[in-house]
A and B are shown apart, each in its own frame.
Chain A
Amino acid sequence: MKLSREEVKHLALLVRLGINEEETERFREQLSNILENFQILQQVDTTDVPPTAHAIALENVLREDEPGSSLPVVDVLANAPSQEEGYFMVRAVLE
């Protein structure tokens, strides 16, 4: 399971994670090694075995739709890197 530098860069792009050249090489090596180890899973016969997403599964969790109070806008915006007139400021998406 050997990853190429291009594959590593592609993964980083998928999640918009900035990594430098040195990290690219380190992750290429480490992820290749980890995935190599994980090949062990292919030995397990999982024919007709359904996947488990939650070990203690609850289904159809319902509650009354009651109006409640929200957090004050000023409190929520207190952590915003940039804000204006009660809104989060974002960079232009389309330029």
Chain B
Amino acid sequence: MSTAQLLADDPVWLILVKVVGIFAFLVVMTLFMINWERKVVARMQQRPGPNRVGPNGWLQSLADGLKLAFKEDIRPVLADKWVFFLAPVISCIPAFVAFSVIPLGGKVTIFGQETALQLVDLPVGVLVVLACSSLGVYGIVLSGWASGSPYPLLGALRSAAQVISYEIAMGLSIVAVVMSSHSLSTADIVSTQSGTIAWGALPAWNAILLPVSFVIYVISMVGETNRAPFDLPEAESELVGGFHTEYSSLKFALFFLAEYVNMVTVSALATTLFLGGWQLPFVGVDHFLNSGWWGLLWFVVKTLGFLFLFIWLRGTLPRLRYDQFMRLGWKFLVPLALFWFVAVAFTRYFNQERQADNVSTSLLLTVFGAVLAVVLLIAFLLPDKREHKDPNAVPITGGGYPVPPLDLQVPKSPPRRQVPVAQLPTAEDRTAEPAAVTASAKEAGDGNA
């Protein structure tokens, strides 16, 4: 029985329970994620992080959320009243809707009703997520425009360009996955990844079968969610706060919520598309560890792995410059994705033909060898790119580093001024300094432990 058939006879109350459940899951994940991010980043920067509100500081984000809700709601005079109000709502709704097609687990029984842990399984499930992310951009763009002030507008323009260009790379990377699983439905994509490959040594995850797609997807999902190192729409050092500069109170909180829900959604989609979804590898589909509510646990663990990656990147990498960022997207990721999915298509086609005994393996190898030889020949025949010489360039010796030339004439040093012996630092002064340094380093270490 397929997931779509399982879900088809869900009564209305069960659908409502699932909707509320997914909503609660996403909101709780957001609250957890904000705290986790602050704690992990703090740990990476050798400081304790939030540790005051609640047990070990884990209720900090809840307190912050409540505080935000009770703040004064300010609307700038120049703002466009309706669009200013609409923008955070638009950015929030698609983020939640996108999660409806994600399979959270396998077959379970809820109050005696047999169903799957998924709200809906569409034949075009993956497209729903893409459609929702393309609608989510409206929230950002409109917020920037409606604020009626320059920095948000700049942030919004950046964001629109960014999300649209990285959505192309993302879509192209998903194409290879769809080709290999013959379906756009998320539940089907999960079920095609259930076996093992390489004589049972590796799970048949798309991340292993289609590594290039996986890498492209992971890079573009960071770009898509406007997270560091791709957080150019809200670059603090350039744009104050970016598109949400003029927002305050609950509207600002909605933007925050949308950002984190989007992160959870793209991580969940990455789990679904590339890491076998809710299934535990190696044990087989019928094992009890893959039955009932266990799937939810594996799903959450895998998703949290991706979310940790988001935090790790933010704690590690500096922000890219805008042109570097665009170059990465258009000149590297998109061509690579195109090349990769054509290669996958060819491989699949010839594999089919070979299995049908229309083509022999030796013929295939010969043809591929010939193509490779032609490509190599062309590559060798192409003339080298001529180096551009700058006539005004300062001559540099050594391996590209600005070291002084070998024949440098060092001018004679001027006659030294006599310093009275009493003013020179004594040996005791010199040793006193390092001692102070070790003492402070020790203190810092204690603070962290």
Q: Do A and B bind each other?
A: no
Q: Which residues from chain B sit less than 8 Å from chain A, CB to CB?
A: none
Q: Which residues from chain A sit less than 8 Å from chain B, CB to CB?
A: none
